[in-house]
Amino acid sequence: MALVVQKFGGTSVADAERMRGVADYIARTCKRGDRPVVVVSAMGHETDDLLDMAAKVSKSRPGREMDMLITAGERKAMALLCMALHDLGIAADSFTGSQAGVLTTSEHTKARIVEMRPRRVEAALAAGRVPVVGGAQGVSTDREVTFLGRGGSDTTAVALAKALGAEVCELYTDVSGVFSADPRVVPGARRLARVSYEEMLEMNAAGCPKPAMRSVEFARTHGVPLHVRSSFTWEPGTWIEEESVMEHPIVSAVLSDQSEAKLTVAGVPDRPGVAAKLFRALADRLVNVDMIEQNVSLHGTTDISFTVPHEDLADAQEVTSGLQAELGASGVFADPEIATVSIVGAGMKTHPGVSATMFEVLAAEGINIEMISTSAIRLTCVVRQSEADRAVVALHKSFCLDSDDDPGGVGAPASGRSPGLGPRAGQSARAPK
Amino acid sequence: MALVVQKFGGTSVADAERMRGVADYIARTCKRGDRPVVVVSAMGHETDDLLDMAAKVSKSRPGREMDMLITAGERKAMALLCMALHDLGIAADSFTGSQAGVLTTSEHTKARIVEMRPRRVEAALAAGRVPVVGGAQGVSTDREVTFLGRGGSDTTAVALAKALGAEVCELYTDVSGVFSADPRVVPGARRLARVSYEEMLEMNAAGCPKPAMRSVEFARTHGVPLHVRSSFTWEPGTWIEEESVMEHPIVSAVLSDQSEAKLTVAGVPDRPGVAAKLFRALADRLVNVDMIEQNVSLHGTTDISFTVPHEDLADAQEVTSGLQAELGASGVFADPEIATVSIVGAGMKTHPGVSATMFEVLAAEGINIEMISTSAIRLTCVVRQSEADRAVVALHKSFCLDSDDDPGGVGAPASGRSPGLGPRAGQSARAPK
Amino acid sequence: MALVVQKFGGTSVADAERMRGVADYIARTCKRGDRPVVVVSAMGHETDDLLDMAAKVSKSRPGREMDMLITAGERKAMALLCMALHDLGIAADSFTGSQAGVLTTSEHTKARIVEMRPRRVEAALAAGRVPVVGGAQGVSTDREVTFLGRGGSDTTAVALAKALGAEVCELYTDVSGVFSADPRVVPGARRLARVSYEEMLEMNAAGCPKPAMRSVEFARTHGVPLHVRSSFTWEPGTWIEEESVMEHPIVSAVLSDQSEAKLTVAGVPDRPGVAAKLFRALADRLVNVDMIEQNVSLHGTTDISFTVPHEDLADAQEVTSGLQAELGASGVFADPEIATVSIVGAGMKTHPGVSATMFEVLAAEGINIEMISTSAIRLTCVVRQSEADRAVVALHKSFCLDSDDDPGGVGAPASGRSPGLGPRAGQSARAPK
Amino acid sequence: MALVVQKFGGTSVADAERMRGVADYIARTCKRGDRPVVVVSAMGHETDDLLDMAAKVSKSRPGREMDMLITAGERKAMALLCMALHDLGIAADSFTGSQAGVLTTSEHTKARIVEMRPRRVEAALAAGRVPVVGGAQGVSTDREVTFLGRGGSDTTAVALAKALGAEVCELYTDVSGVFSADPRVVPGARRLARVSYEEMLEMNAAGCPKPAMRSVEFARTHGVPLHVRSSFTWEPGTWIEEESVMEHPIVSAVLSDQSEAKLTVAGVPDRPGVAAKLFRALADRLVNVDMIEQNVSLHGTTDISFTVPHEDLADAQEVTSGLQAELGASGVFADPEIATVSIVGAGMKTHPGVSATMFEVLAAEGINIEMISTSAIRLTCVVRQSEADRAVVALHKSFCLDSDDDPGGVGAPASGRSPGLGPRAGQSARAPK
């Protein structure tokens, strides 16, 4: 009789057949005795299509009207899903964000939730009905319709799970979970049975796109366990929860990100305030700086290197070159051919040799490390883009993540432990010798 | 400074370009000094698409959810139109049916308006803003979202025009008005500058599909002048209004309808109650009977003929054949190869010879009349389907409706004359000698 | 038994209902005894949608694949139209550009027709079948699929009409013809029954968007009469043909174009070669210069003014300002708040006073003329944008083009008169006193 | 340097983002040194949309035009995919079925391949280019465009793999492979690393919908190994190949099918020819009879039970009831509340006790068996529909398929064996004690 929030993203309800499949799955949840509260996104690419349409119609696009427009997408999805449930004999009621008591700020197109008052949702549950709530929408304090922005359905789902005291917030999507590496690069990559919020956030930072960092942060803040899983195969997926309830693998995943470029400002006099001036100017231009490294030379000059997304490179170059004279730099060099390679693992905190191992593995592969950045549970190196895949394969193998290495590995799931899907500590987490 | 309700149908806002075109037109209305109140339908075929989608997802389709679904279409259109107006410097606010004070019954999918309380619309007008109202939607007395059914946007527009005291309700559509005959049959057919409500309703009954009979009736009841016009060419179209303000052409239009079939129950004893039994049984089966004719023979038997839409023919045959024995009829004969040909004109009331003229014209063409039906301002004959077009052409010409009667007429084929579009006044109204 | 090419544009076949309507119309053409050859564009916005999709998928978009992609749109339309004809008992065959013998250059995405060999089309006609040809597509000399570019369906239609010796090429579109002025500006504007190729081309140049100038030029070159008409109302529309078969109205239409801006290079020394240098530089930058005017002052300097489309204004300013020093100009001034107002009429050639009349009308309205440009049958003035609509209304009235000049005119506002659509011949052509 | 046919279904290329993702994956295949030949289906639901459109436009839908219409879908997909590859620096050429040498019968809408002459595909490969072939299309012996029917892209892929001698035909879809049971019913269900053609066909027969039986049969006939895998996660999936190269699990999967109903003809005299008459009549009515069971009683009468798809039930009842008197039956009873439960495994051939085990497991669960049907490697029981899920769970556990039971189980893949993805024989295949 668990209360479960089930959130279905756009690809999960992309067409009539999948919509009916989702209804069938919700009906199975009910028959198993659980009580689902459903949050649904707009079907397929509808939100993108609405944004495209708005862009074709208008240059100004006032926020009030944009939110009136975009929220039409979830209205359609929630109404259709209720119809499909009705066909299966499941009593269900659709609720807009307003009806579901999602109170938000009045920042149109990117409103934030300020309070949840899900009275009608609770009443529907009490009456044995399935509430189906439109994701990513709310009502502002001045009674206007608001939209929470892209990925806002996850936020709605987590907020509802918290407000209703649900056991878990299940995020149904088109992938079967979070993997130890990209299976396109490492065919032996395994699906992770569970990761901590912290690991997931570091994996997001290291280039893992799903689930959205925003919803993971929100879930961590509110202590809501997430279960990321597939609405195509319906297999159990990856749990994201408190580290304390988990054992700690040393390294959980190896990631690579090729979306950044490196800029180097060479020969800067080693004086206070130089970096401050540079990065203030970049921030003013809204350039997202990720990694920064500065090396002082013997001769009183220094080279400052930093990475930025490819789409910000032109702006960053312009800002930096504009400052070159003022900073007294000898040159500005852009390098778009880089990639980051990262390892992430909660156990790194307590296993000091991990970074050395990573450097040795890359050295053994003849791969040069150009920049290094660390957090408590992540270690990131910048390498040549052409060598990134090779680095990932070698690291994945060396940290014993390849599925051959571990008989109880990925997807060797449901091992009788409660909730029980993951690799055994010490195996997947075993540090390389 | 006229207050004008402007209603734009689906084809008028079918895509971004047309949406912007409509906004431009509304802006011109404002600049001319008039005050528009806009009613907008869902874009293009969106309502059909939503119904299709619902049919693919669900067999049961509960009304509450259907109305939640379908009204999403107008929400999108009204929000987009406000955005486009905003780009042109016109302050505009979108209003759902509920926000516009359209109070309805709670019959989902076909609610009827019970009261108009357009306070927010009036407030917007008072503030010099353009109100843009989603058509065909309202809120029921139990606060649920309702849909007025297909063609409901016209109803919203007329109801708003009445409630706000607008001078005219302009219905923008994809045709340039109402014609004196179908231009595919009669190339010299002309656009009518004005018709009375009565004439329009009779033309609807005689097979003219636009504007919808429901909105014409509603406009007549409330005394709201309609102006049916094109959002493609923006020419002035056809006014539909009180007969009293108009002169009376004898014949305004010639129409033909090929959507009906004829059924004859032959050799029925001429006794009271026979017809009652037959048409009660047909009514119970929901068969729409249009024309009815009964001829008593010398021998105490009678033949009853009636017309029904082709789609009701099978049902009607089944009902009638089932009653054959009980009625004592000698046979039941179906004839799907018929057509009606009608003339409609407000002046027919005061010109007694019109029917004789119509019969003479058909006789001169060698066209046999199979059934006749009349109203005060309409005269309808059933003829062979294969002869219907010829009948229309002959009648249009004989009642001097052809634009050729005017040497400068439209489409006057390559006659070397300079442009000229219409007949002279007084000609179209002249009865044939 | 006329052979007629009927071309249906995207809006004419935008959905299933309209597709069936077009089939019904073609069937009527056959039943009337004429022999149609049909050219059909992609449905609705399909070509735009395909281009959008390609832009989302690829930056490079190689031409061969683009043409393979885009021509899929007409394939669908032609196949569907044949199916709809089949339902009506009309034998019809669809033909791709290649099957129809449209041989083109190999410039992908904008191929030009080099030869027509419509053997299969002729064979279908000979067999009593209706050929339905996909518009805007062909096969190159190296046997690859090619696309003729936007508006290419008109070209296909005219080329087929020429090759097959058709009597007329009918272009069905969403407007009912060419008007004497924009009905949004001049409610009494009238549809022109016929214009000459020359007039139409001048009207295109003066801002009339439809039909596309390219197809008019092509039709003039090949002596193919065009008939532009509506597939919504099916009324006869506007014929475009040789002037010799027509009488000559002095002024056929009044047009305005607000899409251009004016640039003035002031105080240029009056020396040979100055204008050459300026306009060569603009041409090199691909700026489309429309009108040019140069006034020499007493003091040996001159001001050069010219108009360019708004979207070229920034480029034109950059080029011009860059040359300012070299040209010795005292300043460069941009003025985006202008509009052109034009009158077009074949009879202007033989009526010398027309330009004086135009200037007098504008003067009487207090409207200042800023630039003037003429052709044999067109007279264009640049005025303030805010005064353009007033100029058009005054000119339309002064040249007796208003349909009010005819007591039975279209849209003659609620005058109590019975229906009547047009002006009398001889009036629209009368020069103002 | 393996030659690999990669077939991407509609969901794999449903939108621009996924199309680019597929191109990226193909580019990785090239960079790894393999040589891909790509077959692509129409994007997302395009084929369905085209069929819907045709149904809205036409009742007759002649086959030639249908095939012209439907094949437009793959044309678009193949052109777009080539564009996306071009962006990544991969030279690629799109080929229609005709250009790829797919020669078919002339049965429109369901043509069959008669010969493969992929000369242009081979030439592209030889030139180091990636051929991208439109799926499910060909050219008939009379040179008309043909369509192979739904699922025809798989057929194109297998036929190309055979003709080109490819090592494997990879079918990319939205699920990650074939499972040992439906994960919605058995959360511990595992992905099968490999199954034999025979097992797959029996699983299809027992209710497993993907991959389509037709393509599996085609692959078996031509000895082409299939690899069914996910284009969402890109994990290795399920191989389908010759049994001889595999070890034999006793039971590979447990399946259930709830799409059939049972009809019983009771009290039929036990005479020759009774069943023949009944099933001939059903065959004549095109009813698909699946399982049949007949029990002779002591009293010389017999009950005949059989199953039919729910959609054929009404027809089957009508036929059967119509024969009741003639057959001398005492009654006809329909029962829609049944389900089949099946176990499939290549090892069943050599392990005689499997059926007894299945019956014991069901008995222990108190589940009554109503009908039984067997093949060499499949055993199917009819049970109450309400008990089917429970039966599946119990059987999956008893045959040790639950992933807990087997440390080397599902997804515990890539176990170092070549090609090496599956469970070890004797573990997943261990018969219950």
Asked if D255 contacts D344 with a C-beta cutoff of 8 angstroms, the reply is: yes
Taking an 8 Å cut-off on Cβ atoms, the answer to whether C86 and D57 are in contact is: no
- For the cut 90, the answer to whether the pLDDT of residue B41 exceeds it is yes
Taking an 8 Å cut-off on Cβ atoms, the answer to whether D50 and C75 are in contact is: no
pLDDT tens-digit series, residues B352-409: 788 889 999 999 999 999 999 888 899 999 999 999 999 999 999 999 888 754 433 3
- According to the model, what pLDDT value does residue B85 have? 98
- According to the model, what pLDDT value does residue B427 have? 31
**Mean pLDDT estimate for chain A:** 88
Taking an 8 Å cut-off on Cβ atoms, the answer to whether B421 and C408 are in contact is: no
Size of interface B-C (CB pairs under 8 A): 197
pLDDT tens-digit series, residues D36-54: 999 999 999 999 999 999 9
A192-212 mean pLDDT: 90
The first and second tokens of residue D165, run together, are: 């001698």
What is the C-alpha separation between D38 and D131, in angstroms, rounded? 6
- According to the model, what pLDDT value does residue D318 have? 93
- According to the model, what pLDDT value does residue C412 have? 31
The first and second tokens of residue A246, run together, are: 């988990």
Share of chain D above pLDDT 70, in %: 92
- According to the model, what pLDDT value does residue B274 have? 84
- The strand pairing partners of A256, in sequence order, are A341
CA distance B230 to chain C (A): 9
What is the C-alpha separation between D78 and D124, in angstroms, rounded? 15
> Which of B60, B78, B82 is the closest to A86 by Cβ?
B60
- C170: number of Cβ within 10 Å: 24
Helix (H, G, I), strand (E, B) or coil at A159: helix
Give C24's contacts in chain D (Cβ within 8 Å).
Answer: none
Taking an 8 Å cut-off on Cβ atoms, the answer to whether A65 and B20 are in contact is: no
Nearest to B345 by CA among B153, B135, B165, B192: B192
Q: Which helix (H) or strand (E) holds A314?
A: helix A313-327
Taking an 8 Å cut-off on Cβ atoms, the answer to whether B68 and A19 are in contact is: no
- According to the model, what pLDDT value does residue A150 have? 85
Asked if A148 contacts A155 with a C-beta cutoff of 8 angstroms, the reply is: yes
- According to the model, what pLDDT value does residue A429 have? 30
> Which of D175, D188, D412 is the closest to A403 by Cβ?
D412
Nearest CA in chain C to B178: C233
Taking an 8 Å cut-off on Cβ atoms, the answer to whether D53 and C16 are in contact is: yes
* More confident call, A433 vs D276: D276
- For the cut 50, the answer to whether the pLDDT of residue C375 exceeds it is yes
* More confident call, B322 vs A410: B322
pLDDT tens-digit series, residues C389-423: 999 999 999 998 887 544 333 333 333 333 322 33
The first and second tokens of residue C362, run together, are: 């504008």
Taking an 8 Å cut-off on Cβ atoms, the answer to whether A86 and B76 are in contact is: no
> Which of B232, B416, B421 is the closest to C191 by Cβ?
B421
* Residue type present at position B284: D
- According to the model, what pLDDT value does residue B113 have? 94
Helix (H, G, I), strand (E, B) or coil at C8: strand
CA distance B131 to chain C (A): 21
Give C150's contacts in chain B (Cβ within 8 Å).
Answer: none
What is the C-alpha separation between D381 and D369, in angstroms, rounded? 6
Size of interface A-B (CB pairs under 8 A): 102
Nearest CA in chain C to B191: C421
> Which of C54, C73, C87 is the closest to D80 by Cβ?
C54
Asked if D261 contacts D334 with a C-beta cutoff of 8 angstroms, the reply is: yes
What is the C-alpha separation between D411 and A192, in angstroms, rounded? 11
Distance of CA C369 to the CA centre of its chain: 26
**Mean pLDDT estimate for chain B:** 88
Size of interface C-D (CB pairs under 8 A): 103
> Which of B59, B72, B83 is the closest to A76 by Cβ?
B72
Give B86's contacts in chain A (Cβ within 8 Å).
Answer: 58, 60-62, 65
CA distance D133 to chain C (A): 13
Which stretches does DSSP call E strand in A286-394? 292-296, 301-309, 331-335, 338-344, 371-375, 378-384
Nearest to C385 by CA among C324, C341, C430: C341
DSSP state of B433: -
B64-86 mean pLDDT: 97
pLDDT tens-digit series, residues B248-269: 678 999 999 999 999 999 988 8
What is the C-alpha separation between B418 and C245, in angstroms, rounded? 11
C359-370 mean pLDDT: 93
* Residue type present at position C376: A
Label residue C247 by pLDDT band (50, 70, 90): low
DSSP state of B106: S
Taking an 8 Å cut-off on Cβ atoms, the answer to whether D57 and C94 are in contact is: no
Give B84's contacts in chain A (Cβ within 8 Å).
Answer: 57-58
Nearest CA in chain C to B231: C175
b vs e for D313-350, b when ≥16 Cβ sit within 10 Å of the residue's Cβ? beebbebbeebbeebebeebebbeebbbbbbbbbbbee
b vs e for D93-119, b when ≥16 Cβ sit within 10 Å of the residue's Cβ? bbbbbbbbbbbbebebbebebeebebe
- C94: number of Cβ within 10 Å: 30
Label residue C7 by pLDDT band (50, 70, 90): very high
What is the C-alpha separation between C157 and C121, in angstroms, rounded? 13
Q: Which of B35-44, D23-32, D366-375 has the lowest mean pLDDT?
A: D366-375
Residue C373's alpha-carbon distances to A186, C294, C306, C349, C355, in angstroms, are 70, 12, 11, 15, 11
Taking an 8 Å cut-off on Cβ atoms, the answer to whether A82 and B65 are in contact is: yes
A78-107 mean pLDDT: 97
- According to the model, what pLDDT value does residue C202 have? 94
Mutate which: C38, C82, C88, C133, vs D, most D CBs within 10 A: C82
- For the cut 70, the answer to whether the pLDDT of residue A203 exceeds it is yes
Report the neighbours of A using a cutoff of 3 or more CB pairs below 8 angstroms.
B, D
> Which of A25, A187, A407 is the closest to D184 by Cβ?
A25
Query: Residue A173 phi/psi, 5° resolution?
Result: -145, -165
Asked if B275 contacts B261 with a C-beta cutoff of 8 angstroms, the reply is: no
Taking an 8 Å cut-off on Cβ atoms, the answer to whether A69 and B75 are in contact is: yes
What is the C-alpha separation between B198 and B205, in angstroms, rounded? 11
pTM value surpassing 0.80: yes
The first and second tokens of residue C92, run together, are: 């019809």
The first and second tokens of residue A199, run together, are: 């690991």
- The strand pairing partners of C182, in sequence order, are none
CA distance D109 to chain C (A): 14
Mutate which: D234, D390, D401, D415, vs A, most A CBs within 10 A: D234
Give A180's contacts in chain D (Cβ within 8 Å).
Answer: none
CA distance B279 to chain C (A): 34
What is the C-alpha separation between C12 and C43, in angstroms, rounded? 8
* Residue type present at position D90: I
- For the cut 60, the answer to whether the pLDDT of residue C231 exceeds it is yes
Which stretches does DSSP call E strand in C186-259? 194-196, 226-230, 238-241, 253-257
Give A238's contacts in chain D (Cβ within 8 Å).
Answer: none
Residues of D with CB under 8 A from a CB of A: 14-15, 25, 28, 44-45, 174-176, 179, 182-184, 187-191, 230, 232-236, 402-404, 407-416
Helix (H, G, I), strand (E, B) or coil at B43: coil
Taking an 8 Å cut-off on Cβ atoms, the answer to whether D87 and C56 are in contact is: no
Label residue D295 by pLDDT band (50, 70, 90): confident
CA distance A177 to chain B (A): 28
* Residue type present at position A4: V
- According to the model, what pLDDT value does residue B432 have? 37
Mutate which: C15, C233, C406, vs B, most B CBs within 10 A: C233
- According to the model, what pLDDT value does residue A337 have? 95
CA distance A273 to chain D (A): 42
Helix (H, G, I), strand (E, B) or coil at A101: coil
DSSP state of D311: G
> Which of A45, A233, A411 is the closest to D412 by Cβ?
A411
Share of chain A above pLDDT 90, in %: 74
- According to the model, what pLDDT value does residue B433 have? 38
- According to the model, what pLDDT value does residue B249 have? 76
Label residue A351 by pLDDT band (50, 70, 90): confident
B340-345 mean pLDDT: 95
Taking an 8 Å cut-off on Cβ atoms, the answer to whether A58 and B83 are in contact is: yes
pLDDT tens-digit series, residues C38-47: 999 999 999 9
Label residue A1 by pLDDT band (50, 70, 90): confident
- According to the model, what pLDDT value does residue C246 have? 63
- According to the model, what pLDDT value does residue B248 have? 66
pLDDT tens-digit series, residues C171-228: 999 988 999 999 999 988 999 999 999 999 999 999 888 888 888 998 999 999 999 9
Taking an 8 Å cut-off on Cβ atoms, the answer to whether B56 and A94 are in contact is: no
Give B422's contacts in chain C (Cβ within 8 Å).
Answer: 403, 406, 408-410, 420-423
Strands D238-241, D226-230: pairing kind: antiparallel
> Which of D62, D87, D94 is the closest to C83 by Cβ?
D62
Nearest to C428 by CA among C256, C192, C198, C229: C192
**Mean pLDDT estimate for chain D:** 88
In which order are the strands placed within the sheet that holds A292-296?
A292-296, A301-309, A260-269, A331-335
Give B403's contacts in chain C (Cβ within 8 Å).
Answer: 421-422
Taking an 8 Å cut-off on Cβ atoms, the answer to whether C175 and B233 are in contact is: yes
Label residue D248 by pLDDT band (50, 70, 90): low
D251-269 mean pLDDT: 93
Asked if C302 contacts C268 with a C-beta cutoff of 8 angstroms, the reply is: yes
Size of interface A-D (CB pairs under 8 A): 102
Give B236's contacts in chain C (Cβ within 8 Å).
Answer: 183, 187, 410-411, 413
Mutate which: A31, A184, A389, vs D, most D CBs within 10 A: A184
- According to the model, what pLDDT value does residue D247 have? 65
DSSP state of D128: T
Label residue A415 by pLDDT band (50, 70, 90): very low
Q: Please compute, for residue C45, the number of CA atoms within 13 A of its CA located in the half-sphere on the CB side.
A: 11
The first and second tokens of residue D126, run together, are: 């030889």
